[in-house]
Amino acid sequence: MKLALIELYIIQMPLKSPFLTHLGAVTDREGIIVKITDKDGLTGYGEGVAFSTPWYTEETVTTSLHMLTDLLIPLLKKQPIKHPEEAALLFKSIRRNHMAKSAIETALWDLYSKQLSSSLSAILGGSRSEIASGVVVATDSTIHALKQIEQYVEEGYQRFKVKINPEQDYAFLKEIRKTYPELPIMADANSAYTLKDLDRLKALDEFNLLMIEQPLAHDDIIEHAALQKEIKTPICLDESIASFDDARKAIELGSCQVINIKVGRVGGLYEAKQIHDYCFARNIPVWCGGMIEFGISRAHNIALASLPGFTIPGDISASNRFWEEDIILPEVQVENGFIKVPDSPGIGVDINEKRLKETLLFKKSFRF
Ligand SMILES: O=C(O)CCC(=O)c1ccccc1C(=O)O
Ligand SMILES: [Mg+2]
């Protein structure tokens, strides 16, 4: 792919309002932007979606920076590649560190698509010109949740996800269902329960949720299979699926009926597409998860979600859901509940250089 330069930017931005789960609050988002320039001056962008602390997965911004600087970029320097898939396979010689790998692998996909003057959506096999948009409500107050849902309904979102835990589940959902009996609602527990909570979880069946996401441990697929036999609500796995093999095993075991595919969590677009293809062939719906990310990662998610198996609106909301001003131009916009899939080369958005500069903490360059 004739790489000439890789630049890493660490940026930081406050969220418009805190994102609360039982695992803690996200008020400020740090992230890594990867820019790869080839010998013809074409550029590809990727984003590292690890958080500042390891509350969601084991990676952090600092571990990602270490992996990129000391291992992944040196690997790419040593081994020239012709296609992003070769990078994905090359990176398998390093265990896990999926978000670090994805940061650079996604930049290679953007660059590769631009080298072919094709949209990333087309390169991945996308079949949709627009994707349905869903949004997440993450608060510890029922009143606030109702207000947010009201606003998001007005903005046209097509699927609503609320965060739940044993302190905020039955009564919380009952209140929401009272106002919105028919709304497409799902709940995400981020591993707040164990099998001891079986009765609590069974009780949620009455709310007709689209699905319940990751109720049990972040690394479990055995107990989720046991739980799925006991509850009617479909289980969707997020944290438990870190790879294609994890997805295959979870489906074989009956641990879930739906999969949330996050590019960063599974190590890049190659792995994400493999999971999609496997699920699509078996009629298992998938949707694209979110990481409170900036526009570069959102743009990659939009391309991925244009694939035919993404039949449920994902956590791909507008730039203005989290940010006063995003780092891409144009920003991600939701119109009548849909986001347009760009047909211009690559991810189809430009970097907002002014915003990048304003939010920049640190920059590092690697010449090839
Ligand atoms: O809309 C988004 O970007 C994020 C949605 C979200 O729920 C989330 C955000 C950060 C970390 C984990 C999760 C999750 O899906 O569990
Ligand atoms: Mg989740």
* Rounded CA Rg of the chain: 20
Q: Which fold has domain 122-340?
A: TIM Barrel (3.20.20)
ipTM: 0.98
Per-residue model confidence as pLDDT tens digits over 263-307: 999 999 999 999 999 999 999 999 999 999 999 999 999 999 999
Per-residue model confidence as pLDDT tens digits over 144-158: 999 999 999 999 999
Overall pTM surpassing 0.95 (yes/no): yes
Does any ligand 1 atom lie closer than 6 A to the CB of residue 99?
Answer: no
Does any ligand 1 atom lie closer than 6 A to the CB of residue 317?
Answer: yes
Looking at residue 119, its pLDDT comes to: 98
The answer to whether 250 and 221 are in contact (CB under 8 A) is: yes
- Ligand 1 atom 9 nearest Cα: 291
Does any ligand 1 atom lie closer than 6 A to the CB of residue 291?
Answer: yes
Q: How many residues does the chain have?
A: 368
Measured in angstroms, how far is the CA atom of residue 364 from the centroid of ligand 2?
31
Measured in angstroms, how far is the CA atom of residue 79 from the centroid of ligand 1?
34
Tokens 């004739």, located at residue: 2
b/e 109-121 (16+ beta carbons within 10 angstroms → b): bbbbbbbeeebbb
pLDDT under 50: residue ranges of the chain: none
Looking at residue 272, its pLDDT comes to: 98
Q: Which fold has domain 3-118+350-367?
A: Enolase-like; domain 1 (3.30.390)
Kindly give the number of the ligand 1 atom that is closest to the alpha carbon of 315.
1
Kindly give the number of the ligand 1 atom that is closest to the alpha carbon of 163.
7
Which are the catalytic amino acids? 163, 262
Looking at residue 201, its pLDDT comes to: 98
The answer to whether 238 is annotated as binding is: yes
Looking at residue 308, its pLDDT comes to: 98
> Strand locations in 164-312, DSSP E?
185-188, 212-213, 235-237, 258-261, 286-288
Q: Where in the chain is the domain with CATH 3.30.390.10?
A: 3-118+350-367
* Tokens standing for residue 243: 């790879």
Per-residue model confidence as pLDDT tens digits over 58-73: 999 999 999 999 999 9
Q: Where in the chain is the domain with CATH 3.20.20.120?
A: 122-340
User: How buried is 165 (Cβ within 10 angstroms: 0-12 exposed, 13-18 middle, 19+ buried)?
Assistant: buried
Looking at residue 227, its pLDDT comes to: 98
